[in-house]
Amino acid sequence: MRGGCAAVVGFVAALWIPLGASATDADRAASGFSASSYDWTVTVGAEGRVEPVFQGSDRYVLRPVPIIVVRRFGTPEPFRSPREGIGIGLFEGSNFQIGPVGQVVWPRLQRRDAALQGLGNVPWAGELGIFAEYWWVPWLRIRAEVRQGFNGHHGIVSDVMMDAVVPLGAQWTLSGGPRITLATTPAVSPYFSIDAAQSAASGLPIFDARGGIRSRWEPARRRATCGRRGGRLMSSSSSNGSLATWQARRSLRSGAPPIS
């Protein structure tokens, strides 16, 4: 009970922080603070995301994700989609932003899923890089991020996304669109390659994962990378599960990278 109360209090506090930050911003503006005397506004909060237990898993878990929005004083809070990293627009105009960006990748612990037994742990990873976004029209945004990993992986990951954004009142926004994730071999190998020692411990064949398209989402069709289940690699999600499973299993037997 005590832990449940703490969780509720933390959740309410996380929701309250961004609201309080916005209200404080408005109060400062009403009090006569100028942009030169108070240049930046920082909004801090949290959100919940339903994500795979590990990259490629078909089991999902609800995880807390921090919200950190840094914007110039007096400007409205920018639109952000769930997939994008935490960025700061240092160079901006009326319809574009460019600046640093970062993301954190959760560690992969073999004790969390029987499918990982024998594959070992992968520590948490940080990714730092640069982003650029451009609004073609007031309701259509394209954004690209390029990030270099460290600790858990040392590859380069790039996300490209396009969002149609439709405000539904003051508190709600409806958005959606295609996105694609590209990753180099050092970025995917810690999560999907199987070396000789892991093969002996897990019973899976040796597998050498290569970089390329890590995941993509298109209207009416979603594809993701591969993970282990029942002793084989299979797609974690797809509109055509049987086709994606067959593609991944064929790649495993032939030693070729999974078909995206």
Query: CA 20 to CA 237: how far, in whole Å?
Result: 38
Question: 238 pLDDT exceeds 80?
Answer: no
Please state whether the predicted TM-score (pTM) of the whole model is above 0.75. Answer: no
Three-state DSSP class for 219? coil
User: Token pair for residue 20?
Assistant: 């309080």
Phi, psi of 118 (to 5 degrees): 90, -10
Asked if 249 contacts 205 with a C-beta cutoff of 8 angstroms, the reply is no
Half-sphere exposure of 114 (CA within 13 A, CB side): 3
Which pLDDT tens digit goes with each residue over 106-147? Answer: 999 999 888 899 999 999 999 999 999 999 999 999 999 999
In terms of average pLDDT, the best of 19-33, 45-59, 150-164, 206-220 is 150-164
Which pLDDT tens digit goes with each residue over 172-218? Answer: 889 999 999 999 999 999 999 999 999 999 999 999 999 998 876 64
All residues at 6 or more sequence positions from 169 whose CB lies less than 8 Å from its CB, including other chains: none
User: Token pair for residue 156?
Assistant: 């380069």
Phi, psi of 57 (to 5 degrees): -75, 150
Average pLDDT over residues 1-11: 40
Tell me the DSSP string of 151-201: ES--SEEEEEEEEEEEE-SSS-EEEE--EEEEE-HHHHHHHH-B-HHHHHH
All residues at 6 or more sequence positions from 1 whose CB lies less than 8 Å from its CB, including other chains: none
- Give the amino acid at 16: W
> 4-18, 72-86, 165-179, 189-203 — which is least confidently predicted?
4-18
- The secondary element (H helix, E strand) that includes residue 141 is strand 140-151
Taking all residues of the chain, what is their mean pLDDT, rounded to a whole number?
75
Asked if 84 contacts 102 with a C-beta cutoff of 8 angstroms, the reply is no
Confidence band, pLDDT 50/70/90 cuts, at residue 34: low
- The secondary element (H helix, E strand) that includes residue 205 is none
Q: Strand 86-87 and strand 40-52: pairing? A: unpaired
- Give the amino acid at 186: P
Radius of gyration of the chain (CA): 21
Confidence band, pLDDT 50/70/90 cuts, at residue 22: very low
pLDDT of amino acid 150: 97
